[in-house]
Amino acid sequence: MRKLVVSEFVSLDGVMEAPGGEDGYPHGAWTVPYWGDDLGVFKTAELEAADALLLGRVQYEGFAGAWPARSGDPFSDKMNSMRKYVVSSTLEDPAWENTEVLEGDPLEAVAALKAEEGDDILVAGSSTLAKALLRAGLVDELRLAVYPLTLGEGKRLFDDVGRADLELVESSVTSTGVNLLVYRRNPNPPTVDAHPFADE
């Protein structure tokens, strides 16, 4: 059974849109001033633990337009050589090497991928896909780089995903103040016998 990992850059108010400056978002590239070696170590570790990327069409096209032109370092070489699975009803004949468009019901296709033997399946960005996976309960690990700023507008990670009880299993803070948080589903969430402010 493989682990499905969703990894996202988010602002303090939960915005995940255009962290690197994509798509004309007015606050694009909001992550760039906060980059540092410690954040690079975090991102490299999650990539090394995975043997496949799972992407929505928009994120796939962004990656496919950038990564094939890069090579000669371990991160770029792995991005280019690893398996890529894309959830899309419109993408045909993807050109980026080792890319497959999933057929049929996307949630069933992802569940089938998880049932295979292998390393982690990594979802990066892909807001619509990430939220659908969270709603369906298919996400095993949520890795968040939470940036010390608010953006006030844009696509948010947790809109319309419902409740999920999580446990924090790893945390650290980068030299630029980015909180690196790793959550997994909590099989035993805390409960209370009565509301703490109820009359006795």
Q: What is the pLDDT of residues 92-139, one digit of tens each?
A: 889 999 999 999 999 999 999 999 999 999 999 999 999 999 999 999
- Domains in the chain, number: 1
pTM: 0.92
Where does the pLDDT of residue 199 fall: very low under 50, low under 70, confident under 90, or very high at 90 and above?
Answer: low
pLDDT tens sequence across 135-190: 999 999 999 999 999 999 999 999 889 888 999 999 999 999 999 999 999 888 88
- Residue 18 is predicted with a pLDDT of 92
* CATH number of the domain that residue 134 is part of: 3.40.430.10
- Residue 187 is predicted with a pLDDT of 85
Distance CA 156, CA 163 (A): 15
pLDDT tens sequence across 17-62: 999 886 788 998 999 999 999 999 999 999 999 999 999 999 999 9
Residue 50 maps to a domain: yes
Residue 14 maps to a domain: yes
Distance CA 194, CA 155 (A): 36
- What the block records as the tokens of 126 is 């892909």
CB neighbours of 178 closer than 8 A, spacing ≥ 6? 34, 36, 39, 145, 146, 147, 148
Residue 196 maps to a domain: no
Examine the pLDDT at 192 and tell me if it is beyond 80: no
Residue 197 maps to a domain: no
83-122 burial, b at 16+ Cβ within 10 Å, e below that, comes to bbbbbbeebeebebeebebbeeebbebbeebbeeeeebbb
Residue 121 maps to a domain: yes
CA angle, corner 16, sides to 25 and 97, nearest 5? Answer: 90
Examine the pLDDT at 64 and tell me if it is beyond 90: yes
Domain of 85, in residue numbers = 4-185
